[in-house]
Amino acid sequence: MLRTTLASGAALALTATPTLAATGPFFSLQNTDFIVLLAFLLFIAILVYFKVPGMLGKELDKRADGIRTELDEARQLREEAQALLASYERQQSEVQGHADRIVAQAKEEAALAAEQAKQEMQRNIERRLATAEAQIAAAEERAVKDVRDRAIAVAIAAAREVIAAQMTEDEANRRIDASINEVGNKLH
C-alpha cells in the first residue's frame, strides 16, 4: 500500500507541467524544480534500497497486531468484568434474600415469643387468681370454723348453765356412770 502511494506520488511529480513552475528548460541543473525532483527521487530510492517501506509495513503490522491483541485483551477483560459483575449481583441478590428471610424469621420468632409471653402471663394470672381464691376459701373456712367453734363454745356454756341449774347431784352421778359404761362398751 505504501509502495503504491509512493509510486503514485512519483508519477504525479514526473507529469507536472514544468512551464508553470519555473522558466527555462526543465531538464537542466539550473532549474530548481528539476533538482527538487531528483532529490525526491533519490530519497525515495534510498528508502526503497534500505527497505524502509517494508520495515514501515512490518512496524505498522506489528502495531496493528499489538492493537488487535490489546483490543482482544480489553474485550476479554470486559467479558470477565461483566461476568464478575453478574456474579456479584447474584451474590447480592442471594444475600438480600437471605437477609429478608432472616428478618422474616426474626419477626416470626418475636411474634411467637410475644404470644408465649402473653400465654405465660395469662397462666401466671390464672395461677395467682387460683391461689388467691384458695386463700380466700381457706380464710372463709377458718372464719366459718371460728364462728362455729365460738357458737359451740357459747352453746356449751349456755347448756352447762342450764343443765347446772336443772340437774341434781343424783342425776349427775347417774349420767357419769352411764357415760363410763358407754365408753367401756365402746373400748371392748
Domain positions in the chain: 2-86
pLDDT > 80? residue 163? no
Of 1, 145, 129, residue with least CA distance to 60: 1
C-alpha separations of 138 from 10, 43, 86, 141, 144 in Å: 133, 132, 76, 5, 10
Q: How far apart are CA 145 and CA 151, in angstroms?
A: 9
| pLDDT for residue 19 | 44
Within 13 Å and on the Cβ side, how many CA atoms surround 149?
6
| pLDDT for residue 50 | 92
Q: How far apart are CA 52 and CA 104, in angstroms?
A: 75
Is 18 or 120 the better-scoring residue by pLDDT?
120
Is 154 or 100 the better-scoring residue by pLDDT?
100
Using CA of residue 39, residue 41, residue 44, residue 49, what is the dihedral sign? Answer: negative
| pLDDT for residue 77 | 96
- Identify the DSSP state of 50: T
| pLDDT for residue 18 | 45
Q: What is the largest CA-CA distance in the chain?
A: 196
pLDDT > 80? residue 43? yes
54-87: per-residue pLDDT in tens?
A: 999 999 999 999 999 999 999 999 999 999 999 9
C-alpha separations of 121 from 98, 112, 134 in Å: 34, 14, 19
Mean pLDDT of 160-173: 77
For residue 17, the SS3 value is coil
4-31: per-residue pLDDT in tens?
A: 655 565 555 555 554 455 566 887 888 8
For residue 21, the SS3 value is helix
| pLDDT for residue 25 | 82
Supply the mean pLDDT for the chain. Answer: 85
pLDDT > 50? residue 131? yes
